[in-house]
């Protein structure tokens, strides 16, 4: 047990379309981590939100025939409902259109950067990809001159911009990464960004002309410019805690963050630009950035043209919240790209949920009920005792590395031990010849089942609660936890 705080952030997502499986993955991963850390007694805080001041949001609003405000209000509700459908428990949902909190914080950040001499005016002539909301160089494009992530050419722009003097902070950022005061996990991503820094960090454009993105945050004292969307978006990690407002109690309690969890596509923003901004502003760096891989489907990036897009909402509607949480936690590697298809989902659903945890719980509870075994007076180990158990050490070790997939394997390992135990001891037969032995075996099994439920809490909170309630009632389940499907 620990009394430390555990503050985790997801990226704030662009709400120009429906939430997709990538958004679902990062959000579930963060929620599982937070639920685990809460289970072991830490003071947790989960922040997410939407990145609304991007030029692509203006374009999406226009395409929908709505004002930016109307469009983003609607999309914010869509994203909130999405989190609910995933069982993700949020402490804070940041909207970057919130002028009372977020705009104040972003303005405070800008002023600090300016005061530190880290902002200057210049001209940017080059390429910009609205899909990435990022400036591009020729060598970042494919052989057709397209952005490799968006399959279309960036626009050529020539603008007067304010620049952030990132180059001046390169050595300091590198030092923090090398000494481990700013950790980047896994190791391969740490090496990747160190190589980028060593090849030379250039200053970055930090503003756009107001007429290009009229709804974005104005640059202090220069209404003809607005903040570049990443300068604004990264600040959400502290604006959501009250930085820049009159009440900074939450900020003081939770900053620096334990982890910013991100996909590998936005590594440079989080491990070069963001630490550079914080160093210039005199704000402590987050302790770590955890970088996960991408979900691909049928060997390819999900795309409407290929037709391999998997909609998280369809999975929740068809199989339930916990089933999707299970799949994302156990079958998507937090450190590598992973393939997901409906077929692989259904196969695992049947094997590990319907025939796995569902069947195991039904069998045990049915025997307890049928054989009138009284478990009401049984004393179960406390949550604390379960977590201190010898067989749980690998579970904790996996969580120390954010390997939620491996932690889930430990729980399913315990279930296969229980399945074997039933096969070997056959309480359904011995109940006639040796009822005392059968009772003892079933009490042992129900205690293990209780342990499984506790360990499942971070991954499948609804299922864990149902198992715990069934054990409390000591009765057979009225409906199966998961129904087999084709």
Tokens of 208: 């756009």
- Name the segment binding ligand MSP (CB under 6 A); options: 96-104, 139-147, 230-238, 416-424: 230-238
By CB under 6 A, is residue 459 in contact with ligand MSP? no
CB of 23 to ligand MSP, least distance (A): 5
Toward ligand MSP, which CB reaches closer, 32 or 234? Answer: 234
Q: Does 228 bind ligand MSP (CB under 6 A)?
A: no
- Please give the Cα distance from 415 to 283 (Å, whole number): 46
Q: How far apart are CB 17 and ligand MSP at their closest, in Å?
A: 9
Cβ distance to ligand MSP smaller for residue 41 or 131: 131
Q: Of 6, 7, 14, 79, which lies in the binding site for ligand MSP, with binding defined by CB under 6 A? A: 14
Write down the least CB distance from residue 318 to ligand MSP, Å. 20
User: Given phi > 0 = left and psi -120 to 50 = alpha, else beta, which region is 221?
Assistant: left
Q: Which of 6, 7, 23, 60 binds ligand MSP (CB under 6 A)?
A: 23
| Beta partners for residue 13, in sequence order | 50
Smallest distance, ligand MSP to C-beta of residue 363, A: 36
Whole-number minimum distance, CB 56 to ligand MSP, in Å? 9
Query: Three-class SS of residue 136?
Result: strand
Sole binder of ligand MSP in the list 8, 88, 94, 234 (CB under 6 A): 234
Catalytic residues, by residue number, are 20, 23, 129, 132, 147, 150, 301, 304
- Alpha-carbon span 174 to 75, nearest angstrom: 38
Is residue 23 within 8 A of residue 302, CB to CB? The reply is no
The number of residues that bind ligand MSP (CB under 6 A) is 18
Contact 289/184 with Cβ under 8 angstroms? yes
Residue 221 burial by Cβ neighbours in a 10 Å radius (0-12, 13-18, 19+):
exposed
Closest approach of ligand MSP to the CB of residue 146, in Å: 18
d(CA 164, CA 118): 6
**Between 280 and 340, whose beta carbon lies closer to ligand MSP?**
340
- At 129, give phi and psi (nearest 5°): -105, 120
Per CB under 6 A, 216 contacts ligand MSP: no
User: Kindly report the CA angle at 296 between 295 and 299, in degrees rounded to 5?
Assistant: 150
CA 221/CA 127 separation, integer angstroms: 27
Using the rule CB under 6 A, is 22 a contact of ligand MSP?
A: yes
> What one-character DSSP code corresponds to residue 285?
P
* CA distances in angstroms from 365 to 30, 41, 122, 359, 373, listed in the order given: 32, 30, 71, 10, 10
- Terminal C-alpha separation, the chain: 43
Question: Is 136 within 8 Å of 154 (Cβ atoms)?
Answer: yes
Contact assessment for residue 266 and residue 234, using Cβ atoms and an 8 Å cutoff: no
Contact flag: residue 12 with ligand MSP (CB under 6 A): yes
CB of 11 to ligand MSP, least distance (A): 4
Nearest residue to ligand MSP, scored by beta-carbon proximity: 22
Query: Considering beta carbons, is residue 40 or 196 the nearer one to ligand MSP?
Result: 196
Residue 295 sits in the site that holds ligand MSP (CB under 6 A): yes
Q: Distance between CA atoms of 113 and 281, rounded to whole angstroms?
A: 6
The residues in 248-267 that bind ligand MSP, with binding defined as CB under 6 A, are 262-263, 265-266
Check residue 11 for interaction with ligand MSP (CB under 6 A). yes
Cα dihedral sign for 427, 429, 430, 431?
A: positive
Is residue 271 close enough to count as binding ligand MSP by CB under 6 A?
A: no
233 binding ligand MSP? (CB under 6 A): yes
What torsion do the CA atoms of 336, 342, 347, 350 make, to the nearest 10 degrees? 120
What are 407's two structure tokens?
């932690």
Instruction: Find the angle CA(328)-CA(402)-CA(310) to the nearest 5 degrees.
Output: 20
State the minimum distance, in angstroms, from the CB of residue 415 to ligand MSP: 28
97 near ligand MSP, rule: CB under 6 A? no
8 Å CB contact between 95 and 74: no
Nearest to ligand MSP of 22, 153 (CB atom) = 22
The pattern of x and - marking residues 338 through 377 that bind ligand MSP according to CB under 6 A reads: ----------------------------------------
Per CB under 6 A, contacts with ligand MSP among 40-59 are 51
- The residue (of 157 and 294) whose beta carbon lies closer to ligand MSP is 294
26 binds ligand MSP (CB under 6 A): yes
Spatial separation of the C-alpha atoms in residues 55 and 168, rounded to whole Å: 28
Least CB distance to ligand MSP at residue 177 (A): 19
Contacts of 64 (CB under 8 A, 6+ apart): 71
- Chain mean position to CA 51: 15
Q: Which of residues 78 and 294 has its CB atom nearest to ligand MSP in the complex?
A: 294
Binding region for ligand MSP (CB under 6 A) out of 59-67, 148-156, 233-241, 308-316: 233-241
Establish if 203 lies at the interface with ligand MSP (CB under 6 A). Answer: no
* List of residues contacting ligand MSP (CB under 6 A): 11-14, 22-23, 25-26, 51, 233-234, 236, 262-263, 265-266, 294-295
């Amino acid at each position: 047990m620990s009394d430390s705080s555990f503050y985790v952030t997801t990226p704030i997502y662009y709400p120009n379309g429906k939430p997709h499986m990538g958004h679902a993955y990062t959000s579930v991963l963060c929620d599982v981590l937070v639920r685990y850390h809460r289970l072991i007694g830490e003071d947790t805080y989960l922040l997410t939100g939407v990145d609304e001041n991007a030029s692509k949001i203006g374009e999406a609003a226009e395409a929908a025939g709505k004002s930016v405000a109307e469009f983003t209000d609607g999309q914010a509700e869509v994203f909130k409902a999405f989190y609910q459908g995933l069982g993700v428990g949020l402490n804070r949902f940041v909207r970057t259109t919130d002028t009372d909190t977020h705009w104040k914080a972003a303005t405070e950040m800008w002023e600090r950067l300016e005061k530190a001499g880290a902002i200057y005016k210049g001209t940017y002539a080059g390429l910009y990809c609205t899909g990435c909301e990022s400036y591009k160089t020729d060598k970042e494009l494919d052989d057709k001159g397209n952005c490799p992530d968006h399959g279309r050419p960036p626009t050529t722009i020539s603008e007067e911009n304010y620049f952030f003097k990132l180059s001046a902070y390169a050595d300091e950022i590198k030092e923090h990464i090398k000494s481990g005061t700013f950790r980047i996990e896994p190791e391969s991503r740490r090496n990747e960004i160190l190589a980028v820094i060593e090849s030379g960090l250039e200053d970055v454009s930090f503003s756009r002309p107001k007429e290009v993105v009229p709804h974005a945050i104005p640059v202090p004292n220069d209404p003809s410019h607005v903040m570049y969307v990443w300068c604004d978006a990264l600040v959400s990690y502290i604006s959501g805690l009250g930085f820049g407002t009159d009440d900074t109690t939450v900020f003081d309690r939770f900053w620096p963050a334990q982890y910013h969890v991100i996909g590998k596509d936005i590594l440079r923003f989080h491990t070069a630009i963001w630490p550079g901004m914080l160093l210039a502003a005199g704000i402590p760096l987050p302790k770590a950035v955890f970088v996960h891989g991408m979900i691909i489907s049928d060997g390819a990036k999900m795309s409407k043209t290929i037709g391999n897009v998997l909609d998280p909402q369809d999975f929740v509607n068809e199989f339930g919240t916990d089933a999707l949480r299970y799949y994302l936690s156990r079958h998507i590697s937090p450190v590598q790209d992973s393939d997901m298809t409906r077929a692989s989902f259904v196969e695992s659903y049947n094997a590990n949920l319907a025939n796995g945890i569902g069947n195991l719980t039904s069998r045990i509870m049915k025997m307890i009920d049928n054989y009138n075994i009284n478990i009401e007076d049984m004393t179960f180990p406390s949550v604390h005792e379960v977590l201190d158990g010898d067989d749980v050490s690998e579970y904790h070790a996996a969580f120390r590395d954010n390997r939620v997939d491996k932690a889930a394997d430990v729980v399913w390992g315990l279930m296969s031990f229980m399945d074997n135990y039933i096969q070997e001891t056959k309480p359904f037969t011995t109940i006639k010849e040796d009822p005392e032995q059968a009772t003892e075996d079933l009490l042992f099994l129900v205690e293990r089942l209780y342990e499984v439920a506790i360990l499942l809490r971070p991954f499948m909170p609804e299922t864990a609660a149902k198992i715990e309630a069934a054990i409390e009632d000591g009765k057979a389940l009225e409906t199966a936890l998961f129904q087999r499907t084709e």
